[in-house]
Structure 1
Amino acid sequence: MTIEKTLKRPMVSFVVFSNIIFWVFLALIGVGMMLDIPKILTDILIVISAWSSTISFVIFFNKIYPGLKLKEFVKKQFAPKLRFSVLSIIIIIQILIFSVTIFILPGARDTQNFTLSFSGIAMFLFIFFHHLVQGPLGEELSWRGYVLNELQKMHSPFIAALIVGVLWGLWHAPLWLLTSGYIGVNLIKYITLFMVGIISVTIIMTFFYNLNKNLLVPIIIHQLFNFLLSLIKAETLDVLLYTMIFYFAVAVILIVINPKQKLYKK
């Protein structure tokens, strides 16, 4: 059996099953809301649904990596020492994008008034950890730790990033329809901006992840992307438009200058 076949089939199964699990949990959440079940149960289902890709990966792990223990695989993802230079750059880039977006987005600055009271700090921390558990912790082991790394064995990092970006973006498709609140032309705009942004973020993740190979790198990028985006209280399409343009610009800069040849070979 060829290497391509041994990799392709488990990956296809992983992607399909991840989407199925996500849809199933979203259906359960919908049914639960109709039956008026306790909110804590709905919140638990939401968190589990966000981990659907990791659940799928764990289910198929022995077929993907026969003979390897999951604990060893996870440990390996965090083994390289986290480089301060990489960490600093990804934080600075995303804070700059956040700051510039607030500065140029009409009305956004008036809503960023987190008071330094106990309740304000508590809510700030709650939002931070809510996004951490419901986003990067439940997605990065599978999409970057598995899919991206395997695709880079067959393709350049840039092509691998594009593939992961599309697959990862489409995995979010149920949320476009159920939580965006848009229909018609606005829904198309929302989906377009979302896909441009998520592919751009994936390219940025891939570049910096390849510099360090510690899974904390994409986890931090993903966390800052979700968390900082949630702090901008303005019209969603406007927020997406400015934010995704900046992430797209950073991705293009990395592609063009290709420092240390981490996206493709010249």
Structure 2
Amino acid sequence: MTGEELGRDEENTAVAGPVDADGSAEIGELIGRLSGDDDLDRETRGRLLGRLARLLGQSARKAGAAGVARGKWLTDLLVAAAPHIPIRDLETLRAHHHGLIGEELADSVVRVASNGTTAVGAAGGALAAVEFVAPPLLLTAPAQLAAETLVIAAIEVKMIAELHAVYQVRVDGTGTARGAAFLTSWARQRGVNPLESGSLTSALGSAAKSALRKRLLKTLGRSMSTMGPFLTGAAAGAALNRAATKKLAEHVRKDLRGGADPIKPLPGGYPSVGPADKP
């Protein structure tokens, strides 16, 4: 295996339900591309974020103001986009990071993720500057913030999943169950406990979704910094994203090294981790 997409398996194409025909498929694909390690230039990243923001604007109108305000809309979008997040196994990670192993490989994975969220903040801030000097485009600001928030979340979920691979902490089960596990790990900023036994589930329960929603809204609040006037938003967004990604990585790496108790299943739906599968 040279890599995988989070949440995919033989029976499921998404963590939660089939992709509909209202643009969700393209939204997921854009989030996946923006969360990957491709060396996108600033212009391309900005263009993809702009396209994502337009699609999210259309999606938000269909979701309604109440759903958007409570964060349920963002949560459902991230869960649906999870299968498109490109995750690499240990062998592929080592190949992509010039043969590094152990802590050095983990450092490199975190550095790439930090660079990714930094670039998203910078691109979002630059786009915000253009929008603020063109009043009719102010209406797109909320969708732009949602786009930035979802991509940041996807990059960090990818980082967490790959850190588990680096530290050889196996999270087995179906692709959807693993996807739910890593989404919960991101929401709670903790590593996954590989020793918990119990039945596997392919969907997030109410407690896990609540934690995910709170984390997304917190990230959305951080993204507000990119809406500063002109390029000050770009600088602020880039700096805040880099710091937050590094802090998240520190928490998760501490768990994966065994320095703290990893997260345990939440009531009503956090998927437990079963015995290791044969590769």
Shorter-normalised TM range:
0.3 to 0.5
TM-score (norm 1): 0.35
Question: Larger Cα Rg: Structure 1 or Structure 2?
Answer: 1
